[in-house]
Structure 1
Amino acid sequence: MTFRKNHPPKFSGDYDPEGDRLWLAETEKIFEAMGCLEEHKVPYATFMLQGEAENWWKFVKPTLAAPRGVIPWNSFKDKFLDNYFPRDLRKRKAREFLDLKQGNMSVGEYTAKFNELLQYWPQYQDAWNEEGLCAQFENGLRLEIQQAVSYMQITDFNQLVTKCRIFEDKMKERQTRGFGGPQRSHPF
């Protein structure tokens, strides 16, 4: 079985919402890499369930009966997330995304956290809206960076991040020169 050659992780159903979501993401990554057919996804993934998760699947499987016996991957995924990464936790993560502020993080660290939490933003799930994404990113930036880039009205996310990083680097450079650079003497 090609799926097993990719060393898919086992899933036992322990309470670890982030780990549970990561198991699902890793499984989907393997499906994509191997060009897995829709009708094989659920059987392959459920083969990796063990313990409590295997018992959960035995209970849930009959509720997902589908034509020709093929359970759609999205149906499995929805049931899985409802059980192992419940709606209240997804809402909390969405709120964390909307409230995210750069604070003391570098632009790079802020971007990584932004991208990590982005998957929980419901609007991102429905349709890609890059202008809204840029507005949300800008909203969380430190004031001096926000003021430097907002007038540009950048609607390309990668370009916005690049401009923010450049500005941050120039600010650091200016601070370094101002405090540790060569001092001018004033002849009197």
Structure 2
Amino acid sequence: MGTRGQSSAMGREARDPRLDAVIQTLQEIGNLMGRQAQERAANIAQATEAATTAAVNGNQANQGQAQLKPPKFDGKGDPEAAPRWVEELEKAFEVLGCTEAEKVTLAVYLLQDNANDWWKATRGRVFPEGTAQTWAVFSENFYGKFFSESAKERKLAEFMRLHQGQMTVDQYEAEFARLSKFAPRMIDHPEDKA
């Protein structure tokens, strides 16, 4: 009987307490990550439910939440549609607390027609197998296709030609704000205007 007790005591002494601390810390991290994932899923479900409820009820107080539904993008028409679409998506991402991969997944879900065909054809080149999906990489490729350098240059030229003319101050201010996003360097560094 004495031998058995000594054996147990020796087994405990031989075990490194630092290893126990590392294992406990890893278990706590795993539990925390699980709780965070559950909270994120609950937040997304809650935001989606609120948007759906607002859309069904047509309640004025809930109309703002219904706007959470970002628009679909088909890749046709006005080149300004691409940056507007990205801007709407980024607002939704912020409200929903999306991860990088979730941002790409939601964006791809909203692509239709020409834009969806483009994505199917280029997805493998943009994100080769085993590559992490990031919003920065997706949006860079998206802009390369749907908001070309020539379209950016046309908008910059339009900004540079902007004059109040017959517009009211409010109309001019709105047009300035709309076009200024295509000339961020000129806004940030006015000395570049020359």
TM class, shorter-chain normalised?
A: 0.5 to 0.7
Distance 1:78 1:87, change over 3 A: same
Distance 1:16 1:99, change over 3 A: closer
Matching of residue 55 in structure 1 with residue 113 in structure 2: no
Matching of residue 9 in structure 1 with residue 71 in structure 2: yes
Q: Which residue of 1 aligns with 2:151?
A: 89
- The Cα RMSD (Å) is 2.8
Q: What is the TM-score of this pair, normalised by structure 2?
A: 0.58
**Structure 1: which 5+ runs fail to align?**
140-188
Partners of 2:126 and 2:141 within 8 A in 1 = no
Matching of residue 44 in structure 1 with residue 118 in structure 2: no
Q: Which residue of 2 aligns with 1:175?
A: none
* SS at 1:57 equivalent: helix
| One-letter code aligned to 1:104 | Q
Q: Between Structure 1 and Structure 2, which shows a larger proportion of helix residues?
A: 2
| One-letter code aligned to 1:45 | A
User: Number of paired residues?
Assistant: 132
- CA displacement at 1:119 relative to structure 2: 0.7
Distance 1:32 1:66, change over 3 A: farther
Partners of 1:94 and 1:122 within 8 A in 2 = no
Aligned identity (percent) is 33
Q: Which residue of 2 aligns with 1:105?
A: 167
1:67-146 alignment runs, 5 A limit: 69-123=131-185, 128-129=188-189, 132=190
CA distance in 1, matches of 2:175, 2:169: 10
Structure 1 moving runs of 4+ over 6 Å: none
Q: Which residue of 2 aligns with 1:33?
A: 95
Q: Which residue of 1 aligns with 2:14?
A: none
Greater RCO (Cα-Cα under 8 Å, separation 6 or more): 1
- CA displacement at 1:71 relative to structure 2: 2.1
Tell me which moved more, 77-86 or 8-17: 8-17
